[in-house]
Amino acid sequence: MRYIDLATLFAAIVVSACALPPDSDSPFEVIPSRKLLDKKSDEIRASATIEGSSIQATIKFRKYGPNDNSDHRHWYGTDGGLPDYVIQSIIVTKDGKPIPIDPSNYSNFGDISINEVRLSIIVSAQNFGIRYSGSDGAGSYEADFIFVKDRLDRVIMNPYGG
């Protein structure tokens, strides 16, 4: 009878889970877009033109504050700890018209990468969206905000690790 060392098995599972690639079966593709990280205004921006329509996404971030934890026991992008940065707002416009996004859809997204832009415009045959990812180095996540008929339809979360 063979015995399996549970600690080794658990370590292999954790390492495998942290290294999961993004869902390659996604019907969305990232399209070329202009990206900007503005540390003075604490914003990350991406913009692109899709079938003649101008799409712009802006994520405003800020340092984590003591009041942020009152609503959340878990933060995406951390390994169970508290994030350094949190998302303050996400604004998406199509041809200059804002598309409302309720803050409850991103209020527990932490560990914003403030050194690079991890925001993209994505598109499928019928819809468009934005893809954002955050991480503290080990625990990470990717969120697709999918828009249908110029309104937020759903948010698809892909947490990796932590």
Q: Provide the pLDDT for residue 117.
A: 63
Instruction: Give a yes or no: residue 118 inside a domain.
Output: yes
**Total tally of structural domains belonging to the chain:** 1
Whether the predicted pLDDT of 12 surpasses 80: no
pLDDT digits (tens, 9 = 90+) for 73-108: 778 877 777 888 888 999 999 999 999 999 999 988
Average pLDDT over residues 112-127: 79
Q: Provide the pLDDT for residue 85.
A: 84
Whether the predicted pLDDT of 26 surpasses 70: no
Instruction: Give a yes or no: residue 73 inside a domain.
Output: yes
Instruction: Give a yes or no: residue 14 inside a domain.
Output: no
Average pLDDT taken over every residue of the chain: 78
Instruction: Give a yes or no: residue 139 inside a domain.
Output: yes
Instruction: Give a yes or no: residue 151 inside a domain.
Output: yes
Question: Which range of residues forms the domain containing residue 117?
Answer: 29-160
Measuring CA to CA, which residue among 44, 33, 43, 47 is closest to residue 117? 44
Instruction: Give a yes or no: residue 56 inside a domain.
Output: yes
Instruction: Give a yes or no: residue 33 inside a domain.
Output: yes
Instruction: Give a yes or no: residue 93 inside a domain.
Output: yes
Average pLDDT over residues 49-64: 90
Which carries the bigger pLDDT value, residue 72 or residue 135? 135
Could you tell me how many residues make up the chain?
162
